Amino acid sequence: MLLEAITSVVKFHSYLQSRTDARVRDYPLMQSPIQMTSILLGYVIFSSYIGPRLMANRKPFILNRVMIIYNLCMVLLNAYIVYEFMMSGWATTYTWRCDLIDPTSSPQALRMIRVAWLFYFSKLIELLDTVFFVLRKKQSQITFLHVFHHSFMPWTWWWGVTLTPAGGMGSFHAMVNSAVHVIMYSYYGLSAAGPRFQKYLWWKKYMTAIQLTQFVLVSIHISQYYFMDKCDYQVPLWIHLIWMYGVLFFLLFSNFWVQAYIRGNRLPISNHKSTQNGSTSEPAAAVANGKHYENGYTHYTNGKIIMGKVKKV
């Protein structure tokens, strides 16, 4: 039984290597799924088990300066990714409808491959978001959805970059996601800078609307595939996954929008205080894109939670 299992794994590995796009074989972490899967398994184990136990009897780290630098770097990285996606086709030759995966070695195809890999690698860098939560003892922020999103997305993108790295309809959601991350990490950076920058965060109430817009755009764009008479050289599995991703997270965000802004409910805040990415204010926690984001202030007055401002009771 064990020998058969090992034989099957070896055969699958050989098959995968034969199917790996030759143009991406020399990129870091693209030679085998073992490296990528090991990193993500280590991430899940650290964030869910090892990290919290290591920090159990330790004081939380003060990482504001580190996080300001990290957030700034993520803003610049995601802005560069958006630019490269645009220059690789979306702002030059793509129709924004049935755009095909390019199997050639043209300069544009190779440029698209580079940015597709860079987007994948950026998802591994984003694992540091969770590491910061652990080191700052913000374990309540590390939900199942948070860990699942941060591990599942890079895992699926590895397969996409390995088998079909050169664009196509599926690359649209990566470009949009990076554009949204420019905005979000800008917010995080200002938030981590301390209370004196709170006056520049007036637009935080629009964060959920920006996320909802992202999922609407992604879902509408990818849905075109189902209504086309013909759209050659796409991978239907990638299309289905992207559509399900967009719809699922649109529903999750819509539910938050209803709870937060229509019904006036908020998720509970542990210890009557919550900080996000270095903020020293008291924002309410909200699930966004698999992680918790700041979305407005919560004040406690005579035991009641009042959104947005202090209200006399």
Instruction: Write out the catalytic residue numbers.
Output: 149
SS3 312: coil
Tell me the one-letter amino acid at 255: N
Separate counts of helices (H) and strands (E) for the chain: 10, 3
Determine the Cα–Cα distance for residues 280 and 135; give it in Å rounded to an integer: 16
Q: Which of 89, 273, 229, 223 is nearest to 167 (CA)?
A: 89
Contacts with 207 (C-beta within 8 Å, 6 or more apart), sequence order = 183, 184, 187, 288, 293, 294, 295
For residues 39 and 129, the answer to whether their CB atoms sit within 8 Å is: no
Distance of CA 104 to the CA centre of its chain: 29
Sign, Cα dihedral of 267, 271, 272, 274:
negative
Burial status of residue 191 (CB atoms within 10 A of its CB: 0-12, 13-18, 19 or more) = buried
User: Crossing angle for the helix pair 128-135 and 64-85, nearest 10 degrees?
Assistant: 170
Contacts with 223 (C-beta within 8 Å, 6 or more apart), sequence order = 243
